[in-house]
Structure 1
């Protein structure tokens, strides 16, 4: 997740500081999220969302005095956990007598695993392009690459993804 977060930041100084902040505080913030939501998978979701919020509001994060950044991030984790718990409380549980269907071939989770197995240089660019919906020019600026290099790697990454999906039995127009 860190490479994706770093790619969203603008300057090398911001990237270096954020990487150090992330490395220093990630484990403790994860423990805090776990103490709030009581489920490891949900704690990971909460923390990922909190890190994304931190990058989304990077101007605010970097404008804070250095001693105020960790408390700010703790507040972001807490608020994200509260939102997550409220959402979970509104979710209607499944009837325990109802059997869950077996996982079908070609589930979205399978596709996520294929993307995660791709080489880092392509995976990061594809995530920026399709998850963050950034254009090639913006990706090039954030990754400190030329627009041509970004376009080439995205094209190659898409081809690799298509080949991997075909090997897994996906065909054009196959519903997920």
Structure 2
């Protein structure tokens, strides 16, 4: 594959999948700028490893797998652990937002989205990939290296937990 062909293909996948990958990364790291950096890393890896792509899956699935691995590597990294320690330290110093700022922040984030982020990662991941990214159960199984029955179970349990949390938080009650 020539450099020009690689450039054109990379440009195409960036336009087609960039936003989806950013949302996926955000679902893991919960910070927009870091999510964007991780997606940038994904595209760099895509470009350098494009000739090794075996076409055993779709390019979308391959990019999702790279993004998930980037996110998991970041969450294991020293820089992430250091930033989390700083957040905890700041929280312990009783640095708080005003009531108005807290209300605006809660409103901005959205209650359902916030509730999804309270789910354990294995359920949050399933809910996000299935409902927001609209991947099939088969695609999720392939992407994460899980059996389809495991994916079905996690989606079902994730839905149940999400429903309970939403009822508890009085979201969408009539």
TM-score range, shorter chain: 0.3 to 0.5
What is the TM-score when the length of structure 1 is the normalising length?
0.44
Structure-2-length-normalised TM-score: 0.45
